[in-house]
Structure 1
């Protein structure tokens, strides 16, 4: 499936000119609405967060380790009169090395967001809006120390949301509340083994008594439901910013009322234009993502344990470049 998304950005400028008239000087204010002339601005940011621990003859013991998270963000915003088109690309990839243990992945994200909005008047704070969100990962994910059986891959899973609704925000860049009563969600599991096992909520394969596949597992799960998202950005103190992004989704046809939650909170600490620290929290719950418990460890027998809340915490200091 191919998606071609055009994203542009423009912002408005106002200025006044003064003209003399007869014996008195009268100032005539001429307001130029530059939104009538489409313009765009592309903003890019890339950085790396590092964390390192080393020990030499340390009496309490410990393991030397180093971890890094590479991250990048690109945005384009286009405005023309009361029309706005905003798109962002977010990428993250984190690794950890601890002494003689194998290299481990700690973070992995490829996310594209694009939203189109139109308001009926300049005084209105409500936008008629449509949104597209696509999210997946770059590399294989494992349940360490087992690195022979991936539990996730590129496009396994992959998530896509597309729908329309209303968006409210006195400043669409700093505050946004989006309500979409009709949003299509697709979950992609483009890996045969994961699809056959029914990972991430897709229909699993059907086997015969000898373990042969009669009907392969589905690679796409489709849902239609209601989506509510919120974005908020605030300056807590000088050089300290808070960013919160929350998403809530429930499917009309399958288990209506079971709400998928995706909530990220990041606090940024600016040391200077290049050095920054961050503290983050990421909480997720998806009723379609089931956990497993071990029944017989010797024979690798597992049983489904249902969905559980997922949470991770991030802390790092790093180097960031805007361009």
Structure 2
């Protein structure tokens, strides 16, 4: 078989209802869904790998009059075409695209009052990232990992929302919608069974603009998939991002460059295909 494909759909629902609860707390409803899949081809000296993931989640704290707030929002597609020098060393060209589907907001307190305000900080294709690269891949198929070093990498940042591009969000020049960079990247992944019904997955993407070398954009994702049966699974994942061109508004109201960290624990219904 030259072609291999697969995927899964995951749905998680959590509801907490409190009425006259002496210990205190707040009712909440949380819903999350994700779909991911891959299509790979390998024959003779040709290897073509494609994968994609879309995920979205919301939560509402308190009564029905409160808003649902976004907790997860990912659109991520990648394609990698390689020619073999050997079973372990390949010449690789790759494309990766990332963005989100919905508005992202930050809730801030209004100084001197008890009121809050919602500030738009991101949107669909604001940011959007497109990275194209050419380099060498080293892979250990039986051990489940691969690493690609690409000295020829182009990275494009899109900010199509006018209010965000006008203030130069995500590193674009104020009023511009696209930023182009040339640099070097190191990407790779690990996928292996650590014990029965427990699978480790990790992906990383490091990019350094030649104009700012060695300043590096870091994006690392790691997760554990714990399988109860064919329909019930738990996923524990973490993601760390650092981008020198992204200015963060911290929880204390200060602004600056900082680590972005996301931790997600899901238990729910999973359908494989």
User: What's the TM-score, normalizing by structure 2?
Assistant: 0.90
1:252 corresponds to which of 210, 221, 233: 210
User: In 2, Cα distance between the equivalents of 1:158 and 1:142?
Assistant: 16
Out of 235, 243, 252, the residue aligned to residue 193 of structure 2 is 235
**1:81 aligns to what?**
44
Consecutive unaligned residues in structure 2, runs of 5 or more: 109-115
Tell me how far apart the structure 2 counterparts of residues 133 and 290 of structure 1 sit (CA, whole Å).
Answer: 23
Distance in 2 (alpha carbons) for counterparts of 1:222 and 1:293: 27
Partner of 2:96: 133
What is the distance in 1 between the residues matched to 2:19 and 2:251?
A: 39
Q: In the alignment, which residue of structure 2 is the partner of 1:153?
A: 123
**1:102 aligned residue:** 67
Q: How has the CA–CA distance of structure 1 residues 68 and 172 changed in structure 2, closer, same or farther, with 3 Å as cutoff?
A: farther
Query: Equivalent residue of 2:105, what SS?
Result: coil
Q: Does the 8 Å CA contact 2:130/2:156 hold for their aligned counterparts? A: yes
Over aligned residues, Cα RMSD in angstroms? 2.1
CA separation in 2, counterparts of 1:226 and 1:155? 23
Change over 3 Å in CA distance of 1:274–1:173 after alignment to 2: farther
Report how many aligned residue pairs link the two structures: 264
8 Å contact from structure 1 (residues 84, 118) kept in 2: yes
The answer on 1:171 being equivalent to 2:171 is no
Report the CA distance between 1:321 and its aligned residue: 0.7
Equivalence map 1:178-189=2 (5 Å): 178-189=148-159
Q: Distance in 1 between matches of 2:160 and 2:178?
A: 8
What is aligned with 1:269? Answer: 226
The 5 A counterparts of 1:4-23 are: 11=1
Deviations 1:185-242 (A, max 9, x none): 00000111110010000011xxxxxxxxxxxx11001101111012011212211111
SS of 1:151's partner is strand
Bigger radius of gyration: 1
Distance 2:181 2:142 in 1: 28
Secondary structure of 1:169's match?
strand
* Structure with the higher fraction of residues in strand conformation: 2
The 1:41/1:232 distance shift into structure 2, 3 A limit, reads: closer
**Structure 1-normalised TM-score?**
0.77
Aligned to 2:111: none
| Counterpart Cα distance in 1 of 2:51 and 2:143 | 12
Residue 288 of structure 1: how far off its partner (Å): 0.7
| 2:134–2:150 contact (8 Å) kept in structure 1 | yes
> 1:149, CA displacement in angstroms?
4.1
Query: 3-state SS of the aligned residue for 1:142?
Result: strand
Q: Pick from 220, 234, 237 the counterpart of residue 280 of structure 1.
A: 237
Instruction: Quote the residue 2:10 is aligned against.
Output: 47
Q: How far is the alpha carbon of 1:176 from its aligned partner?
A: 1.0
After superposition, what is the alpha-carbon deviation per residue over 1:42-88, rounded to whole angstroms, capped at 9, x for unaligned?
Answer: 32311112333333433220011121221001211112212111111
Query: 1:172 & 1:157 partners in 2: Cα distance?
Result: 36
Equivalent-residue separation in structure 2 for 1:135 and 1:317 (angstroms) = 25
Q: Which 5+ residue runs of structure 1 have no aligned equivalent?
A: 1-10, 12-38, 205-216, 296-301
Show the counterpart of 2:56: 93
Counterpart check, 1:226 vs 2:187? no
Does the CA-based 8 Å contact 2:143-2:192 persist in structure 1? no
1:23-46 Cα offsets, whole Å, 9 max, x none, are xxxxxxxxxxxxxxxx43432311
The DSSP-based 3-state class of the residue aligned with 1:143 is strand
Is the CA contact (8 Å cut-off) linking 2:131 and 2:156 kept in structure 1? yes
